[in-house]
Amino acid sequence: MQKATAFHEDVFYEHFRPFRHPLACFDIWGGHGLETFGDDLQLAFNYDPDYVWTIVECGVGPDEWIIPGFHRVNRICFLLTEVAHFDAPIEFRIERRPRSLTPIGLARRITTLKRILSKNKAND
């Protein structure tokens, strides 16, 4: 298994564009999240897996992570996005002490992300 490249959460929101599913039952994670039980869980489970993300806590530090796919362990909630991840080896760090990337830093990291995604899609 290939080691995942870590990005700041700003890159995730800018590139993948999470959205609130119209059938979502709860208002979590800024309105974008799906709960880990009930009808929300079924929405995430039945959605195209290339557009499903899981927010997890790793237990090692205070940060949380957004990882591609549907995961059951240490999950906080699920997100659906407009852009597919194609199971790329990527993850996004959500720091407890929020800070944003500069516009140029964000642009550079998105360029790196696009390279990884295109390489991963070509290998499928």
Into how many domains does the chain fold? 1
pLDDT at residue number 2:
74
Domain of 98, in residue numbers: 5-123
Residue recorded with tokens 């760090």: 93
Give the pLDDT confidence of 9-58 residue by residue, as tens digits.
Answer: 999 999 999 999 999 999 899 999 999 999 999 999 999 999 999 999 98
Task: Round to whole Å and give the CA distance between 3 and 6.
Answer: 9
Q: With bands split at pLDDT 50, 70 and 90, how would you rate the model's confidence at 98?
A: confident
Angle between helices 103-123 and 9-16 (to 10 degrees): 70
Distance, in Å, from the CA atom of 50 to the CA atom of 9, rounded to the nearest integer, reads 18
Please report which confidence band the pLDDT of residue 124 belongs to, taking 50, 70 and 90 as the band edges.
Answer: low
pTM for the full model?
Answer: 0.92
Question: Taking 90 as the threshold, does the pLDDT of residue 123 lie above it?
Answer: no
CB contact at 8 A, 44 and 70: yes
